[in-house]
Structure 1
Amino acid sequence: MNVIGIKELQTNPGKLSHSLLNNEYMLITRRGEPLGVALPFGTQLLENGMKNWVALKAFQAGDLSLGQLGKVLGKNKHETLTLLGELNIPFADYDLQEDLQTLDELFPA
């Protein structure tokens, strides 16, 4: 396994490019602790889980709906919600204070 520190990556980015061009992955560290992994992009990567990970991140960012996420994952709504629960990813994003304010405006005391 190839390992590169974040400072070395900044001063020698060609080392990362060389690794990826040789179809190798590289562990990126900061102060000796794992920070990330750089992987060569290809069909095999997508077929072995990257697509699902990217879809989950896109859902978290609000770029995919729950239905779209389910389609990408090949799961029905219940299975998708179960998976999100297992991964501790909230499926609804709302501001409670904003909702309470709206209720106060709709139903004044």
Structure 2
Amino acid sequence: MQAFSIRDLREKSGELSRESEAGNPSLITRRGKPLMMTVPFTQHLVENGIHVALAEQLYCEGHVTLGRAAKIADMSYAEFAEYLSALNIAVVDYPPEELEDELNVLAQ
């Protein structure tokens, strides 16, 4: 996610447009503090709604946890995890050795 200051908008409007065309939301700041967010208008947004599309994007980029993304999407944790899984988006991100340790604990 790209961040632009309110002062940058005149000079960097082309860059902001390119980010949107690429499907990337952007953050607009004033005096270093978040002011607003741009969200690209896509078919995915139309079909799923802004809350779900934004939650998915923020989760995929690692800006929020699964639980926080579920709240943004106004879904339960399980519903949002199932939604992401249907899109082939990983909801469990264990390093292989950690996953093996967890499976060994469960097997005992």
Q: Report the TM-score when normalising by structure 1.
A: 0.44
Q: TM-score, length-normalised on structure 2?
A: 0.45
